[in-house]
Amino acid sequence: MSEFRHIPVLLKETVEYLHVKENGIYVDGTIGGGGHSFEIAKLLDSEQGGRIIGLDQDDAAIEAAKNKFTPFPRLLTVIRTNFVNIKTVLDGLCVTKVDGILLDLGVSSWQLDSAERGFSYMDDAPLDMRMDRRNPLSAYEVVNNYPAEELKRIIRDYGEERYADRIAKNIVRKREEKGEIKTTFELRDIIEDTIPMKSKKSQGHPAKRTFQAIRIEVNQELKVLPDSLSTMTELLSPGGRLAVITFHSLEDRIVKQAFKEFENPCICPPHFPVCVCGRTPKGRVITKKPVIPSEEEMRENPRSKSAKLRVFEAAETGEFLSNQRHLK
């Protein structure tokens, strides 16, 4: 097992957008190695109530975060769980509102670089891809047990792969011939043999999209996101902020649409002069366009190139309660 190492993306920008208060309570829903939270901790005062609640599915990430926070022993509460359970966690800690929430979505650099976790097509390892190794569903089960139509749907929808149908059929054909597909290289070879040469040259590594799709399915990454975002906005104190870092278009689309609906939930017909549906805005979108890494950051950390940061701010008490029709 390699040492947990993860370079936090958009670190300075994220901390600045969270508007950290020294007595604030902040939740890092994907604490990983604790990089973002550690910078937040530097701005907190535990004696005034400052606190960080860190969540993560990965047991190695939990241990790494605990070790990193040795200089701030009174600031961190860390719990191994998916961020979809944030309300249950906060209820258990008797916390009703928080001043900021951070999500750094997707797979971490450490998970990709740990060959034994089976996330990467660059290393030969057993098919796994579980962020939470207590999860009974692994990439092995998906690859070997899902029917062709379901594999096609996953690879098409989650990987945005144009050759999803061919790849799915070849996976099923290969497992019928061999009995099972056990390793990342076996899966990678099937994908490489399926995709035409002309497409291999234009879309990067041919296995990238399919591996992403299977990882998303194993960890249910997109299914938990919309409801989680809605819950999180309800948990913010007035003026509190939710910052979300995404790494591919599917995640970013969900976050963008959710924030838009939180800001303008009115469903009245456009010709109505005033809003009568009674849906009140939850706050406002701070980042009208996503924040992206600087050229310098992308040079230093190539994996940051696809990162996008979006931020939503909860309404102050009484804000937007009148004239919400004008937000359209």
DSSP string, 98-117: EEEEEEE-S--HHHHH-GGG
- Annotated domain spans of the chain: 11-109+221-327, 115-219
Cβ proximity of 254 and 222 under 8 Å: yes
For residue range 18-30, list pLDDT tens digits in order. Answer: 999 999 999 999 9
Strands (DSSP E) contained in the chain are: 25-28, 51-56, 76-80, 98-104, 236-246, 283-285, 308-314
**Residue 320 binned pLDDT confidence (cut-offs 50, 70, 90):** low
116 has pLDDT over 60: yes
324 has pLDDT over 80: no
Cβ proximity of 139 and 214 under 8 Å: yes
Question: Residue 324, Cβ neighbours under 10 Å: how many?
Answer: 20
Lowest mean pLDDT, pick from 58-67, 115-124, 221-230, 274-283: 274-283
Span 11-109+221-327: which CATH code? 3.40.50.150
More confident residue, 53 or 303: 53
For residue range 158-198, list pLDDT tens digits in order. Answer: 999 999 999 999 999 999 998 899 999 999 999 999 998 77
Say what the pTM is.
0.89
Strands 236-246, 283-285: parallel, antiparallel or unpaired by DSSP? unpaired
328 has pLDDT over 70: no
For residue range 233-280, list pLDDT tens digits in order. Answer: 999 999 999 999 999 999 999 999 999 999 988 878 888 888 878 778
Q: Report CA-CA distances (Å) from 1 to 54, 67, 119, 168, 184.
A: 23, 16, 14, 32, 18
Strands 25-28, 236-246: parallel, antiparallel or unpaired by DSSP? unpaired
More confident residue, 318 or 132: 132
Domain 115-219 sits in CATH 1.20.58.1610: no
Our CA angle for 314, 318, 323, nearest 5°, is 100
Our CA angle for 224, 226, 231, nearest 5°, is 90
Q: Tell me the β-bridge partners of 309.
A: 245, 291
For residue range 91-100, list pLDDT tens digits in order. Answer: 999 999 999 9
Please give the Cα distance from 245 to 311 (Å, whole number). 9
**pLDDT, position 172:** 98
